[in-house]
A and B are shown apart, each in its own frame.
Chain A
Amino acid sequence: MNAIIQLENIHKIYQTGEVDVHAMRDVSLQINRGEFVAIMGASGSGKSTMMNTLGCLDRPTKGRYLLDGMDVSQLGRDELATIRNEKIGFVFQGFNLLSRTSALENVELPLMYLRKSFKSREQHERAKWALDIVGLSGRAGHHPNQLSGGQQQRVAIARALVNNPAMVLADEPTGNLDTQTSIEIMGVFQKLNDQGITVVMVTHELDIASYTKRNVIMRDGRIVDDQAVTQRLDAVVELRKLHEAQAAVQLVS
């Protein structure tokens, strides 16, 4: 079984007062292991609902969702929590780290809720390993307010990786970052993807989407376009270009 995500005719209807809001209409989508997908769309297009559904934070009203071969569309709250814990690594726009808690402990957070018990030594080891992947092993003891935005997002990525999830799900991961840091973060995702990790991200920025391998475009709760990225950007190349441009500006001024 190669499909990590299989959505079959998913509907999501919010009943808010008088009018029913149809946030997803008959959405079907398959994402395979090792893919790097950007789900795009304007606000109100249903991409946030898509994100919540993919992330098992919410259940579809209708339809079937197979995550890593398992039907999760009818699971209860606690079962969904366990699925999130074991299969999904979240990266949010606002980083969502626990304040006044060290980077290492933030990364350990998902391990705390692991249903199998873990020795605290092993927890530290795993968290250090995850921090090492994002290049922050030197900052393990720092608190979020002692880290830059880019570093905080790297901690969040490390947290997403620590449980060895089936996929990393990122919601506007560069939304709060400047251009250079955004490219760096995309570089981290590209590197992870090169190692075989499935990455799905929601974004509305076209240039960010072009670092991925596949773009799914949504409008009015439907998928209107789904194609492979032809002119894919490489974060390493783009960063070098940016540095050259900055150097040029400095030469001029």
Chain B
Amino acid sequence: MKIFVVLRVALRAMRRNKLRTFLTMLGMIIGVGAVIVTVSLGNGAKAQVEKQIASLGENVIMIYSGSFTRGGARSGWNFAATLTVEDSLAIEREIPDVTVISPELRNGSQVASGYDNWSTTILGEGPDYLQIRQWPLSEGAMFTELDVRSASKVAVIGKTVADQLYPDGNCIGQVLRIRNVPFIVVGTLVPKGLTAFGQDQDDVVIVPYTSSMKRLFGASNIRAIMAQAASLKSMNSVQEQITDLLRQRHKITPGHDDDFTVRNQQEIAEAANSASQTMRLLLAGVACVSLLVGGIGIMNIMLVSVTERTREIGIRMAVGAHGRDILMQFLTEAVALSALGGALGIASGLGGSQLLATHMNWPTLTPTAWIAGAFVFSALVGIFFGFYPAWKASKLDPIDALRYE
């Protein structure tokens, strides 16, 4: 029997009882739809996290004051400002694999222009900060080493701040008052978007760290140091060298905890991913269960269908159908049910993720491999759950089947 004929017979049987066919497929539709939405959301989130992690810069090593654990109780970063500008200079001087470095201070403050005021984050940084973060300027220029040495009152501002304070779009050379100290805006930054944790990276004002320490916040220590390693391969050794150097400088004897924390962006990416990984696994589990339920539904209906059509099976066998012809017929019907259900599920899943993306602003990304995979898998569900009913049909005795009322 030709496959085309078998398919036509299967489709006719499905058309005969449209509501039942639809309800049977519903299990597959929901299952596959759930898988597609889950995968789309998971991949969207992952891609976004990766993008955000990449937005931190390349081969970046972050050194924070304070440590994660101290005697069992965990403190936040920056619990004690233990790092100094001298630490930063020492790292730059003594570790050759560190290409550029920038001390960092981070403070929240109200800022004001001639038009408006805005509460934002003031970053005190070195002149190489933008290079580490790989953050291009859209206008103007970054402040220089000279500005750092003289603690100049110059600032580079993020897109959000620029939009809030200078609605006419003209900000270079304008005055920006931070804690009532007038700074001159020398550059604006290209927008970078949100961080993995939902913070607006563009809501920022960057000033020389010396200006932040001396003119704004009167700080003597710094919060963090951003360093860039020469290559990905040297990251680990650079991290170790930094740790050794800082322990030595901070006079920490062996057996005592560091009073600083060295991290790189891979570690942060892993932390962010592991949270969403758990969620993805959970959702994938739910989706698999609903696929299983869908498969059982198909098996159930196929068993009913075989019983209902016992006489038809008898007729077909009487006129010459082999057992495998009957097997193929019912298996094809089951696979057509599940594959069509799967296809509709893919369509509804894509529609659903599109809806989530547009209405709830959740990032979604559906890889084509998953779409193909979902389709193949739903066909496999049909083969798996359709086999027993089809096998049962193929083993019927033609005499009994013909006599069946």
Which residues of A does B touch, CB under 8 Å? 52, 55, 57-58, 77-78, 81-82, 84-86, 90, 92, 96-98, 100-101, 109-110, 112-114, 117, 159, 163
Contact B322 A113 (CB under 8 A): yes
Chain B contacts with A in 229-281, Cβ cutoff 8 A:
none
Name the residue on A nearest B314 (C-beta): A96
Contact B318 A113 (CB under 8 A): no
Contact A52 B399 (CB under 8 A): yes
Number of A-B residue pairs with CB-CB distance less than 8 Å in the complex they form: 58
Contact A117 B2 (CB under 8 A): yes
CA distance A96 to B398 in the complex (A): 13
Q: In the complex, which residues of chain B have a beta carbon less than 8 angstroms from the beta carbon of A55?
A: 318
Contact A57 B399 (CB under 8 A): yes
Q: Mark B312-332, 1 if CB is under 8 A from A, else 0.
A: 101111111111110000000
Chain B contacts with A in 286-327, Cβ cutoff 8 A:
311-312, 314-325
Contact A113 B325 (CB under 8 A): yes
Contact B315 A98 (CB under 8 A): yes
Q: A96-B311, A96-B315, A100-B16 are in contact. Are A113 and B321 (CB under 8 A)?
A: yes
The smallest C-beta distance from B10 to any residue of chain A, in angstroms, reads 13
Name the residue on A nearest B16 (C-beta): A100
Contact B320 A82 (CB under 8 A): yes
Contact A112 B5 (CB under 8 A): yes
Size bracket of the B interface: 20 to 34
Contact A81 B317 (CB under 8 A): yes
Max chain B C-beta neighbours (<10 A), residue from A55, A81, A98, A114: A81
Max chain B C-beta neighbours (<10 A), residue from A100, A113, A114: A113
Contact B315 A57 (CB under 8 A): no
Q: In the complex, which residues of chain A have a beta carbon less than 8 angstroms from the beta carbon of B16?
A: 100
CA distance A137 to B320 in the complex (A): 24
Contact A96 B322 (CB under 8 A): no
Name the residue on B nearest A171 (C-beta): B402
* B312, B322, B402: the one within 8 Å of A82 (CB): B322
Max chain A C-beta neighbours (<10 A), residue from B2, B314, B317, B325: B317
Return the 6 tightest CB-CB contacts between A and B, nearest first: A85-B320, A113-B320, A110-B319, A78-B322, A113-B321, A96-B315
Name the residue on A nearest B398 (C-beta): A57
Q: List 16 A-B contacts (CB under 8 A).
A: A52-B399, A55-B318, A57-B398, A77-B323, A78-B323, A82-B320, A84-B318, A84-B319, A96-B314, A96-B315, A100-B16, A109-B319, A110-B320, A112-B1, A112-B5, A113-B325
Contact B319 A98 (CB under 8 A): no
